[in-house]
Chains A and B, each alone.
Chain A
Amino acid sequence: MNRPSLTGVLVREVVNFSAYWRATTFSSTVEPTIYLLAFGFGFGSLVSEVAGLDYIEFVGTGVVATAVLFSSAFPAMFSTFVKYKFQRTYDAIMAAPVDAREIVTAEALWIAARAGTYGCVPLLVAIAFGLDPRAGMLVVPFIAFTAGFGWACFGITIAARMNSIENFNYVISAVLTPLFLVAGTFFPITALPELASVLAQVNPLYHCVELVRHAAFGFEPGADAIHVGALLAFGAAMWWLAGVSMQRRLVD
């Protein structure tokens, strides 16, 4: 891998982003905000406290992971698919001195940077509704970036392995929706039956949720090292898989 290739792919993404940033920003920020407000106020009127936190604070920190997922896995799936299937963008890029691994890396970095930014929106909304700002929250963009990188690579992998955009429905219904619901965002995973709560611990979103909560309410060094390790391992594994999948998709 070399830097000019990564720069070239990144420049392409950034220049294109200047043409569609409004729509992307809208969908990446409005949707998690609606979840936050609907659950925070709707559900929050029934339960005032969860795990020792005000419910709006509990959800406000948890929904950061939702925002990361929505601004990484989904755009990665759809944009990668559209680029190779309809726009043939990768044919154009690979005519230049760039290979599949470099494409994956640069595009995932760019999506991760967006997720790192959009991931902070729910936190800002929660602050507006009374969450106390803390210095620890300054690491939230980095947590969101790291998680976003893994999910972007996940999305690229799915897109590279699917032949039709309809098949995305299977992944969204069978993988993304369950992971999104059992990540400890809206209720603690300890409330789940034992098997489900064990399974939830391999959910990368759960580790993102926990880290963000600890950033907002106080770090727990031992546990947080494991959460960071889990996100890094998820990112590394998905990056490897995305590279292999795209190589197979783009080179006959």
Chain B
Amino acid sequence: MPPAPAIRLRGAVKRYGPITAVAGLNLDVPTGTCVGLLGPNGAGKSTTMRLLTAQAIADEGEIEVLGRTLPGDSKAARAFMGVVPQQDNLDEALTVEQNLLVFTYLYRVARAERKPAIERALQLAKLTDRRASKVDELSGGMRRRLLIARALVHRPQLLLLDEPTVGLDPQVRQELWALIGALRAEGVSMLMSTHYIEEAARLADTVTIMAEGRAVAAGAPRELVTKHAGRDAVEVYGPPPRLAEVEAHAHARGWAVRRTGTSVSILGAEALDGDLPEGERRAANLEDVFVLLTGEEIE
């Protein structure tokens, strides 16, 4: 029998009054893989994360985490998982080391293991020389690294990352990607929600694209691109009237097109005939798929 997947959702539904945040979601995270949960704001990513820690209870459907059925066995599952929240919730008055110490207790790390666990987490997050600094003295990037270290202090089998690099500058984002990449190489199963396409494309083995509470596509990034957007795209730049003309031209022929602010891209161009408008030919990418399937433009 193959090992139980790290996460398995079938038909999960979560309603908040008249709003259905998660509307029949199916999601799999096979053990040892990193799955990117990609979707626009309001697609239900954060609610999905809350369902996985039983901070939200599903109205319908099945949820299993690390072989335990939620919400009943959620505490047993949480002992073996770590969560990196979107919003910083470190104890600001405490030092880096004290924040980690508190979580060795909360995560039930055995007494003899506590010190080595803290050292390992400090090293992983490259915060060893800042161990005595109070959290409110740290930069945004360091705080984010500490959040990750805190989630890893008990060597979890599964890590949930909710928008791990949102609001950080590009250099810090690269740093965090390196850290997440290293964990992935260690074999930690990961579910990472993000609305940054590049983040998902770089870090995830498979991507699930979410829109309006459902999975609209799932697969390896490259496969998703080939399946939904083809190999090549022709991107046409020009003034708005010209773009409207190109769009009408494409629609008339039933081609897949994608509008951005300053250009129109015709997807699957490699399979189209001769009357393609003049434009820049480029490889189709995950962003094209995202926009095509969710109907949303990204920032």
Q: Which residues of A approach B to under 8 Å, CB–CB?
A: 4-5, 7-9, 11-12, 15-16, 19-20, 87-89, 91-99, 250-252
Contact = CB atoms under 8 A, between A and B. Distances in A.
Given A93-B106, A94-B55, A88 B89 contact: yes
B91 A88 contact: no
Contacts of A99: 75
B101 interface: yes
B98 interface: yes
Given A7-B105, A251-B57, A252-B16, A96 B78 contact: yes
B189 interface: no
A251 B108 contact: no
A95 B91 contact: no
A250 B55 contact: yes
Interface string B75-112: 11011011101011111111000100111011110000
Contacts of A88: 85, 87-89
A252 B56 contact: yes
Contacts of A7: 105
Contacts of A95: 53, 78, 81-83, 85, 151
A250 B82 CA distance: 18
B53 A94 contact: yes
A214 B57 CA distance: 50
B76 A97 contact: yes
A16 B94 contact: yes
A12 B106 contact: yes
A246 to B, nearest CB: 12
Interface string B48-64: 00100111110000000
A15 B108 CA distance: 16
Nearest to B52: A95
Contacts of B102: 8, 11-12, 15
Contacts of A251: 54-57
B103 A96 contact: yes
A231 to B, nearest CB: 30
Contact of A89 (B54, B55, B78, B91): B91
B282 to A, nearest CB: 41
Given A95-B78, A96-B106, A87 B89 contact: yes
B103 A91 contact: no
A108 to B, nearest CB: 18
Contacts of A11: 101-102, 105-106
Contacts of B87: 88, 91
**The 4 nearest A-B residue pairs measured at CB:** A8-B106, A95-B83, A88-B89, A96-B106
A97 B108 contact: yes
A96 B154 CA distance: 10
B245 to A, nearest CB: 48
Given A16-B91, A19-B94, A88-B87, A97 B105 contact: no
Given A94-B53, A99-B75, A8 B105 contact: yes
Nearest to B98: A15
Interface string B6-46: 00000000101000000000000000000000000000000
Contacts of B14: 252
Nearest to B160: A95
B91 A20 contact: no
A95 B126 CA distance: 23
Contacts of A98: 75, 106
A115 to B, nearest CB: 22
A8 B89 contact: no
16 contacts: A5-B106, A11-B105, A12-B102, A12-B105, A19-B93, A19-B94, A88-B87, A88-B88, A89-B89, A89-B91, A91-B55, A96-B78, A96-B106, A97-B75, A97-B76, A252-B55
A16 B135 CA distance: 12
A251 B150 CA distance: 22
Interface string B224-257: 0000000000000000000000000000000000
B103 A20 contact: no
Given A8-B105, A15-B94, A97-B107, 8 more contacts: A7-B105, A92-B85, A92-B90, A92-B150, A95-B78, A95-B85, A96-B78, A252-B55
